[in-house]
Amino acid sequence: MEPKRNFIPLQDLEVYRLARKLSAMAWEIYQRLTYQQRKVWGDQMLEAVDSVGANIAEGYARYHYLEKIRFYYISRASLSEGVEHWIDLGFERGIVSDEEYQSFNRLRLDIQVKLNNMIKSTYTVKNQPKSDD
């Protein structure tokens, strides 16, 4: 008899839910932008922030461990680009309020820790000896 595997649906992963929350926050900002702000700053900010959750989803759906890890690394890089660059730049330019800026950075830290844990645990599972059951 094959052992039962515990599979967590993507929507139940806390890191994915937090990434979707980050996207919702970015969308709130994007919606109030002028056409020029969207073209120069908003489109790239939104694409980077939305990429966080998209890459978690893609990595989570991959079968091979190293493919999973690759997408989690891309997600982490998008998180840095989206928040540490684009949101920071928006704050500097007066597009992002102080409260929004603080919220983005708190959420970024939570997501970053959870992504690092996913990467570490995926490496751990990958490196476990295979059983001959």
pLDDT tens digits for 37-47? 999 999 999 99
Please report the pLDDT score of residue 7 as a whole number. Answer: 76
How much of the chain exceeds pLDDT 70, in percent? 93
- What distance in Å separates the CA atoms of residue 99 and residue 119, rounded to the nearest whole number? 30
Task: Give the predicted TM-score (pTM) of the model.
Answer: 0.88
Measured CA to CA in angstroms, residue 126 lies from 67, 121, 122 at distances of 11, 8, 6
Please report the pLDDT score of residue 67 as a whole number. Answer: 93
11-124 is classed in which CATH architecture? Up-down Bundle (1.20)
Judge residue 49's burial from the number of C-beta atoms within 10 Å of its C-beta, 0-12 exposed, 13-18 middle, 19 or more buried: buried
Specify the DSSP class assigned to residue 64.
S
Please report the pLDDT score of residue 65 as a whole number. Answer: 85
- What distance in Å separates the CA atoms of residue 67 and residue 62, rounded to the nearest whole number? 6
Nearest 5 degrees, angle CA 14-CA 105-CA 26? 75
